[in-house]
Amino acid sequence: MPPKIARLVGLSAFGAIAGFVVLFAFIFYLSWPSSTGGITPGLTAVSVISGVVVLLGLIGAHVALGKQLLALSEGRSRRV
């Protein structure tokens, strides 16, 4: 992969993290119990905990891939 493309894709992997956070925050906002709707508090806790686990997994994977791609664009070893 050319270094310019690797750098662009590596930075995009870090930028995708912001999109994940916004998407999951919106989902949590919609599922939060309120006077006009939402789900029960117990189910809210379960959905938030499971969502955070998925979010942390996605963030970890994108950080690892982004670091590897940025290292590749600088000519360093692929293993970071």
Q: Which two tokens stand for residue 4?
A: 């310019």
Distance CA 30, CA 24 (A): 10
Q: Where are the alpha helices (DSSP H) in 1-80?
A: 3-31, 41-73
User: Is residue 65 exposed (0-12), middle (13-18) or buried (19+ Cβ within 10 Å)?
Assistant: middle
Distance CA 22, CA 17 (A): 9
Asked if 18 and 59 touch (Cβ cutoff 8 Å), the reply is no
Q: Would you write out the chain's pLDDT as a tens digit for each of its 80 residues?
A: 888 998 999 999 999 999 999 999 998 888 888 877 768 888 888 989 999 999 999 999 999 999 999 998 888 866 64
